[in-house]
Amino acid sequence: MANINTSKFADHTFDAIVIGSGISGGWAAKELCDKGLKTLVLERGRNVEHLKDYPTATKNPWDFPHRGRLSLELSEENPIASRCYAFKEDATHFFVKDKEHPYVQEKPFDWIRGYQVGGKSLLWARQTQRWSKYDFEGPARDGFAVDWPIRYDDIAPWYSYVERFVGISGNKDGVDTLPDGEFLPPWEMNVVEKAIRKRIVETYKDRHVMIGRCAHLTKPEEIHHQQGRGQCQARTLCQRGCPYGGYFSSNSSTLPWAAKTGNLTLRPDSVVHSILYDEQKGKAVGVRVVDAHTKEATEYFANIIFVNAAALNTNLILLNSTSSRFPNGLGNDNGLLGKYVAFHNYRGSLSASMDGYEDSYYYGRRPCAVMMPNFRNVHKQETDFLRGYMVFYSAGRGRSGAGPNGEQLGAAYKDALSEPGNWGIYMMMQGETIPKESNYVSLSTSEKDAWGMPLLKVSVGYDENDEKSMKDFLVQGAEMLDKAGCKNIHTNDSKQAPGLDIHEMGGVRMGRDPKTSLLNEYNQLHACKNVFVTDGACMTSTGTQNPSLTYMALTARAVDYAVSEMKKGNL
């Protein structure tokens, strides 16, 4: 432990340290504190408290200088962040600005980040689906990546455990490609969405259509009242922070819960530089932190360390944690740290219209779409590309637009704006990408940030498999909409860079063999047993589902194991 300032060793020693306060970090904190461990949570960004620090939550559209839209100046200053759908005038304070935290793009990559207590849990899209057995079996069966060290039955109880606390709305659909969970009442499809579903399931026997599942309280239960959370108001203002606690975030749920135990110490403005490894003890003993404002370096110590800084930052911290034992990064004996990064392919989408149904409308602003679990290469290889994609669609009615005679000024135009227009349909893909060694992150040897950390270099791109998968979705999507009776069907390839999906995964993947993976079946570093990684960095493959529910379940499972091992004296 060279160069460690031990003058305040006692004050800086905890049972456990959690790096990051987002979705997985919040869960690690809750579980560790619940189990009686004095836990330090380190967050590189500023403090954000539930209710107190949501400055725009109850503002009206006319309270914003640009009515919620970005100014030209802000857009030009943030060409990366401004591509995110939630980077609006009412939420820019929750996003990392481009100039403040640079990185190196060896290939185009839109890295969307939220540095504050709660992280991106204040900004996520809140869609929550379980993986199926086919997703965990996929790599071994299809011959890509490495075999997952767990199966669906290993994580299913933890899905249930997390779902009950978080509050997931959904319907029991009985579909094995998207297993049911512990659900609150579901949201409802509107009349056009139901019509499309009926025609699709009648036409395609291998395709299932169901209402989306999301982390919104449609009918809060006692566990949610204990958290101080209330019913979702269907406002679609979620990126502002929800004053009702209607959707799950670390700020409204896990962190306050952890704080109530008296075991939590939360330290914002703490940029984690590296994890400290003791050569004699043969384990990690703490972390080195740089104060975000003073730039002063401090060390904190613990028996257990959970790394939950979000996928790419977790890779950065581990790569920067070098020692005589680990000259290439903590746990990196096989040289694979930072490699096999993957993401979700969002490039393909379709739009269409539907005639009729002018006498029907819908209530509220539903926080989820209609979804269709993957139907490609589920049981066996059937196409010229590996794996597949989930499909999401929604139908709605916009404003009718101009007045009856084309007016865009005056009373007739104003009256027309109060009338709903025709039905429009939007459909999108969420495609699985295949982890490959050529998609990686590494550390710059020449450039550092304001806190002395090497800049992260990102070399992640699409491949032929992604192109084929997207083209298949566009063909199948157009065919499904046509058979459903839709008109004016248009396909689109956004050509957006990876990263804008905000589902980056891998680099510290789980596996059975220390020669081909970094983590074991309990998210524990093979080569450093008291360090655990349970955010997106741990993922062996991406599946087609939204990943956050899996991160939460893996985290709760890993904490249970870690605390058990600590009590046995194995950590």
Q: How far apart are CA 160 and CA 208, in angstroms?
A: 22
Q: pLDDT per residue over 134-157, tens digit each?
A: 999 999 999 999 999 999 999 999
Q: pLDDT per residue over 32-67, tens digit each?
A: 999 999 999 999 999 999 999 999 999 999 999 999
pTM metric for this prediction: 0.96
Reported confidence tier of residue 8, pLDDT bands at 50, 70, 90: low
Q: pLDDT per residue over 154-208, tens digit each?
A: 999 999 999 999 999 999 999 999 999 999 999 999 999 999 999 999 999 999 9
Average pLDDT over residues 302-330: 98
Q: Which two tokens stand for residue 551?
A: 């991160």
* Topology of the domain covering 11-170+212-346+434-461+497-568: FAD/NAD(P)-binding domain (3.50.50)
% of the chain exceeding 70 in pLDDT: 98
Cα 558 to the chain's mean position, in Å? 18
Provide the mean pLDDT of the chain.
96
Residue given tokens 């959690």 in the structure block: 18
CA nearest to 179, candidates 559, 553, 558, 557: 553
Q: pLDDT per residue over 339-352, tens digit each?
A: 999 999 999 999 99
Full DSSP string of 382-448 = -SSSSS-EEEEEEEEEEE--S-TTS-SSHHHHHHHHTSEEEEEEEEEEEEE----TTSEEEEEEEEE
Reported confidence tier of residue 3, pLDDT bands at 50, 70, 90: very low
Domain limits of the chain?
11-170+212-346+434-461+497-568
pLDDT for res 416 = 79
Class of residue 217 by CB neighbours under 10 A (exposed 0-12, middle 13-18, buried 19+): buried
% of the chain exceeding 90 in pLDDT: 93
β 505-507/370-372 pair status = unpaired
Q: How far apart are CA 327 and CA 337, in angstroms?
A: 12
Q: How far apart are CA 439 and CA 342, in angstroms?
A: 7
pLDDT at 374 over 90: yes
pLDDT for res 408 = 80
* Helix 23-34, helix 548-567: angle, nearest 10: 30
Q: pLDDT per residue over 394-418, tens digit each?
A: 999 988 776 667 778 888 888 878 8
Full DSSP string of 306-353 = EE-S-HHHHHHHHHH---SS-TTSTT-TTS-TTEEEE-EE--EEEEEE
Q: pLDDT per residue over 227-241, tens digit each?
A: 999 999 999 999 999
